[in-house]
Amino acid sequence: MMIEQNPPLAHHHISVDCVVVGFDGEQLKVLLLKRTIKEDGNEYHDMKLPGSLIYEDEDLDAAAQRVLHEQAGIKRMTLEQFKAFGSRDRTKNIKDVKWLERAIQMKVDRIVTIAYLALVKISSSTASFTAAGNELCWIPIDNPGELAFDHNIIIQEAIKRIRQAVSTDPINLFQLLPHKFTALQLRTLFERIYGKALDVRNFQKKLKQMTYVVALDEYEKNVAHRAARYYRFDKVEYNKTRR
């Protein structure tokens, strides 16, 4: 915002990309969209994060919500902006250039993208949406393959952010779990995020200290072993403890 006459001021495109993370009880997964690249009559397939250029007069947060709704059937999800990516060569790959020209129908130099993070229950509406036209997949977040643009880097940064966020405010974790969950599920989730095994007994002790995780009088059924107890997350109680 300073007066400079010589170099040309940039007038770039801005997009949002959403890293939607889920947990299947075993692994962390990320929601990706299939991309089709046509080249010399051949068709390639490819994966990318849900994302979109923003519209005129559309707030960044609103654009991210729209993307989630349009491309993944998820509405009014808690989204956290976590980083902007604006390297010149993030749109330099030939495949990406071709795809952009077809998709946006204009020549694009650079797109600065604002990345958002959302944690969702994998079993939610996304599943049904997958069945419909949009080819959505839950892919293991640790090994998503080679993605479009710099989306591998964006996912790496998202993982870092999740680790940070959990240590200061574990509330987000419970968005990843079903309403009723077992201690094993919660523990496995922590293990995947911290990237290391946790002692079973110490974890149970910590669980008892979390007054906002309340034990239900329900147990697993039809399992070939002692049935595990179900727990639920109590948001009201949680908010009490945060003062």
Partner DNA sequence: AGGGATATTGTTTTTGCAACAATAACACAT
Partner DNA sequence: ATGTGTTATTGTTGCAAAAACAATATCCCT
7 binds, among its own copies, DNA, none (CB under 5 to 8 A by kind): its own copies
Is 57 one of the binding residues for its own copies (CB under 8 A)?
A: yes
Phi (first) and psi of residue 146, to 5 degrees:
-90, 115
Give the H or E element holding residue 218: strand 213-219
Mutual angle of helices 200-209 and 183-194, in 10-degree steps? 110
137: which strand partners? 32
Q: Is 46 exposed, middle or buried (0-12, 13-18, 19+ CB in 10 A)?
A: middle
Residues in the interface with its own copies (CB under 8 A) total 45
Kindly tell me which of 25 and 170 has the beta carbon lying closer to its own copies.
170
Sole residue written with tokens 């349009």:
70
Q: Which residues bind DNA (CB under 7 A)?
A: 182-184, 199-202, 204-206, 219, 221-229
Is 81 one of the binding residues for its own copies (CB under 8 A)?
A: yes
Dihedral over alpha carbons 92, 30, 155, 132 (to 10 degrees): 30
Q: Tell which one of 45, 76, 88, 243 touches its own copies (CB under 8 A).
A: 88
Assigned token pair, 101: 């020209």
Q: Tell which one of 103, 184, 198, 200 touches its own copies (CB under 8 A).
A: 103
Residue 206: CB minimum distance to DNA, A: 6
Q: Are 21 and 157 in contact (CB under 8 A)?
A: no
Q: Give dist(CA 226, CA 220) in Å, integer.
A: 9
The amino acid present at 241, given as its one-letter code, is T
Is 71 one of the binding residues for its own copies (CB under 8 A)?
A: yes
Tell me which stretch binds its own copies (CB under 8 A): 39-47, 48-56, 195-203, 233-241: 48-56
Closest CA to 65 of 3, 9, 130, 20: 20
For residue 224, the tally of other CB atoms under 10 A from its CB is: 4
Kindly tell me which of 28 and 111 has the beta carbon lying closer to its own copies.
111
Residue 123: CB minimum distance to DNA, A: 19
Tell me which stretch binds its own copies (CB under 8 A): 80-88, 195-203, 205-213, 226-234: 80-88
Tell me which stretch binds its own copies (CB under 8 A): 19-27, 76-84, 202-210, 226-234: 76-84
Is 13 one of the binding residues for its own copies (CB under 8 A)?
A: yes
Within 132-171, which residues bind its own copies (CB under 8 A)? 164, 168
Residue 8: CB minimum distance to its own copies, A: 5
Is 51 one of the binding residues for its own copies (CB under 8 A)?
A: yes
Q: Are 236 and 187 in contact (CB under 8 A)?
A: no
| Residue ranges that bind its own copies, judged by CB under 8 A | 1-4, 7-15, 17, 48, 50-60, 67, 70-71, 81, 83-84, 86-88, 100, 103-104, 109-112, 114, 164, 168
